[in-house]
Amino acid sequence: MQKTETTINLDDFPKELHYIFKGAKVYDSSSNPTMTVLYSDLGYYVKIAEKDKLKKEAEMATLFENMGIGAEVVSYISDDKDYMVTRSAKGADALEFLDNPKKLCEVLAEAMKYLHSRPIKDVPISLCMETYANVEKGSCLKQDTFIHGDFCLPNVILDNGEFSSFIDVGLAGIGDRHIDIYWVLWSLNYNLGTDKYTDYFLELYGKENVDMNVLKIVAEVEAQE
């Protein structure tokens, strides 16, 4: 995750968050134009967005934390803007492990299988599914699996080469497993510069659980977004 050192004005933030920045170096780690992400070298990430935009993510992040596969959620404040504070997850994102593609595929497949096997009772529908509700072939997708929704390498944290946690879980919830499968394959291919590990990942995940026709539909829809 890229970080650029920046300066802030404490008066721009709720008083409850001042301790996060006092005496700390602050870095901008934003990658989404609709959201600002700041990192305090005291070990905190602060997401800032329009009011109520982070409510769902704060709820899902807390759920992931309670499952033992997410960063600690310190606070969620909805004032003139939304602020969500999390502790820095232990480890580094999966982009740091591109030098061992097979091992990376193994870790990602196991992490995905674990998430996809979690109970879905009382879990909200993933916001991803709204996209497919308005697509002609969207009815082919099921709502039967706990998905991340943005299963790309920067959102998977590894510690000492093993899975540690998921971050950026605002799109998580009940959805179709093929959405996660599409995004992890896209992210692997993009960051490795080759698609030679696609079959290897699918074998690890379990080809019997993958419908290539549905995966193709997901690819077509995401290409239009």
Q: How many CB atoms lie within 10 A of CB 94?
A: 23
Selecting among 82, 93, 150, 176, the annotated active-site residue is: 150
Helix (H) or strand (E) holding 78: strand 73-78
Indicate the helix (H) or strand (E) that contains 26.
strand 26-28
Q: Is 122 a catalytic residue?
A: no
| Cα 38 to Cα 35: distance, rounded to the nearest angstrom | 10
CB 143 within 8 A of CB 176: yes
What sign for the dihedral angle of Cα 83, 162, 190, 171?
Answer: negative
* Residue 195, token pair as written in the block: 């698609």
Provide the phi-psi class of 168: left if phi over 0, else alpha when psi is between -120 and 50, else beta.
left
> Counting runs of H as helices and runs of E as strands, what totals does the chain give?
7, 11
In which order are the strands placed within the sheet that holds 4-6? 4-6, 26-28, 36-40, 44-50, 81-87, 73-78
φ and ψ of 157, to 5 deg? -100, 130
- Residues involved in catalysis: 150
